[in-house]
Structure 1
Amino acid sequence: YGLTVLDYYGLTESYPLVANYPFMEVREGSMGRPMPGWDVQILDEDERPVAQGDRGEICLRARSNPHYPLGYWNAPEDSEEVFGGEWFHTKDAASMDEDGYVWYEGRADDVIISSGYRIGPFEVESACLEHPSVAEAAVVASPDEARGYVVKAFIVLAEGHEPSDELGSEIGRFVREHHSAYAYPRRVEFVDELPKTLTGKIRRIELRQREASS
């Protein structure tokens, strides 16, 4: 329709943190740049800034803006745990480029560690969706004796395609060749639908629990 979509990112606890403004260059796929007045950084597990372009957790320096919440209503212990430290942890993963644009990579607690590699499910899902037979994809960690965990993709096929072992292998090869030599689904399971929230977000936690108990 000739319109420019201005993505932004925020939480109930933190208000918008990152946004595309009408006067700035919009980079497709990016959530934009940190909002003025917020000290937003991409940190590792020890609350240290990650290298430029590396995956980390989106964190907000506590009380860096007068809008920073005082806490949860009538929940002092939860308030202290969430808001009492130097950084507010969003539990969302992203990377930041050389110009300060933030690129979402999924939930921080969804990360898959396989043979020492840290793999974000969002990027693998996006690569799966580029295959013409894939309508929807969800990626989780699947226990593996040799690697600890491997990447497993739950796939909803597009109309006109039938599930088969050959197609599962083809999707895995496709992602490996077009995306990454290590961040690709070694296991594929075809499903009729994916578990989702009322707002349409994929509930990876259900798939992780299913894998852990299988």
Structure 2
Amino acid sequence: PLEVPLRAIVAFQGYMRDAVDLRPGDHFWNLADPGWAYGLYYAVTGPLALGHATTFYDGPFSVDSCARVIDKLGITNLAGSPTAYRLLIAAGKDFSTPIKGRLRVVSSAGEPLNPEVIRWFADELGVTIHDHYGQTELGMVLCNHHGLQHPVHPGSAGFAIPGHRIVVLGEQGNELPAGQPGILAVDREQSPLCWFGGYHGVPTKAFVGKYYLSGDTVELNPDGSISFVGRSDDVITTSGYRVGPFDVESALIEHPAVIEAAVIGKPDPERTELIKAFVVLASGYQGCAELEETLRQHVRQRLYAHAYPREIEFVSELPKTPSGKLQRFILRNQEVARQHAQQATPVSAC
């Protein structure tokens, strides 16, 4: 079990103040369930620790209920997950028209924020949405801050939140310069607001020397910001290249036919892995060979020749955690099981 010490509240306050930019005049709503760490830390504890009222909706998430609450309570500061935001985008004008101009700032956490989501919120709602990164063990530690001035680049998770030193480590435990992918780590000796001290009664393998290793692959940018590449076990090795699934998913979502996408590496004897995409289509589109090829070319034009999905499977939904995070490992396991079943099937002789 995870122990959350009382001093963590100071870090929660810092996130609400600097990243969420929660102001006394705001009407705040965090869409996250309080059973999820982001909801417990930043829908309950963080706002109340600042003496600020918070909002809860007792019911399942829907586009209609979201619009109704924002309108009725005059919500100005919204936080949630990209999964929820993509559902709002799929509703289009039915959601955006009634609340355009109502929101002052929007924050996103749980998984990387696709550029298409950022553009939609700016164009359709007239509001800036920023990407924030954290873990249950750490709280939020890497953010594009609404309340601080710094450069914001599409695809970047931002800068270390005050009180934390975030670095990128190589395989030998050395801190890497800009442009080299490695593991996101917290320098615990120089992070006074890092409150995680380990699991109760269980050794914490993520502690290596003075660092906490997150297990996420990232890359340091020249300006000091950090870009998310993917979970270490999600990064795809294909024909000698390393491809982050997030980039391919983001390119797919930019196509109007796609609501959601999940990308995995499928074992392949020639390429080590080939890129396979699972796609949820928008209303009015049907999966077919022609659309598959259209989506492949769409990705090739936006990324690079080796990063397009060689296989596309159209699905009705993607596996997610209760908090809305994609569970790519389930799709990978299904693919491996499918391949094993095909290899085990005897071939009838003529």
TM-score (norm 1): 0.88
Q: Structure 1: 5+ residue runs without aligned partners?
A: none
Match of 1:189 in 2: 313
- 2:205 is the counterpart of 1:98: no
- 2:181 is the counterpart of 1:55: yes
- 2:143 is the counterpart of 1:16: no
Change (3 A) 1:174 1:3: closer
1:30-41 to 2 correspondence within 5 Å?
30-41=156-167
The structure with the greater share of residues assigned to helix is 2
Aligned-pair identity in percent equals 39
Quick one: which amino acid aligns to residue 92 of structure 1?
D
Deviations 1:76-102 (A, max 9, x none): xx22x2225332111122222211112
Alignment equivalent of 1:142, drawn from 227, 241, 266? 266
DSSP 3-state at the match of 2:273: strand
DSSP 3-state at the match of 1:162: coil
Match of 2:198 in 1: 71
Deviations 1:104-142 (A, max 9, x none): 232122000011111100110001111221111000011
Which stretch shows the higher mean deviation, 122-131 or 32-41? Answer: 32-41
Q: Structure 2: 5+ residue runs without aligned partners?
A: 1-100, 102-125, 339-350
Residues paired across the two proteins, number:
211
Deviation at 1:51, TM superposition (A): 4.2
Following TM superposition, where does structure 1 have runs of at least 4 consecutive aligned residues deviating by more than 6 angstroms?
A: none
| Whole-angstrom distance in 2 between the partners of 1:127 and 1:28 | 16
* Aligned-residue RMSD, C-alpha: 2.0
| Whole-angstrom distance in 2 between the partners of 1:159 and 1:32 | 34
| Whole-angstrom distance in 2 between the partners of 1:165 and 1:36 | 50
| Whole-angstrom distance in 2 between the partners of 1:134 and 1:5 | 21
Match of 1:88 in 2: 212
Change (3 A) 1:3 1:25: farther
Alignment equivalent of 1:168, drawn from 292, 300, 324? 292
| Whole-angstrom distance in 1 between the partners of 2:177 and 2:153 | 22
Larger Rg: 2
DSSP 3-state at the match of 1:95: strand
Alignment equivalent of 1:129, drawn from 246, 250, 253? 253
The structure with the greater share of residues assigned to strand is 1
| Whole-angstrom distance in 2 between the partners of 1:84 and 1:55 | 19
Deviations 1:35-67 (A, max 9, x none): 334221122333233442343221112333344
The answer as to whether partners of 2:132 and 2:158 remain within 8 angstroms in 1 is: yes
Change (3 A) 1:155 1:8: closer
| Whole-angstrom distance in 1 between the partners of 2:167 and 2:320 | 29
TM-score (norm 2): 0.56
Alignment equivalent of 1:180, drawn from 284, 304, 308? 304
The answer as to whether partners of 2:276 and 2:311 remain within 8 angstroms in 1 is: yes
The answer as to whether partners of 2:168 and 2:220 remain within 8 angstroms in 1 is: yes
- 2:278 is the counterpart of 1:151: no
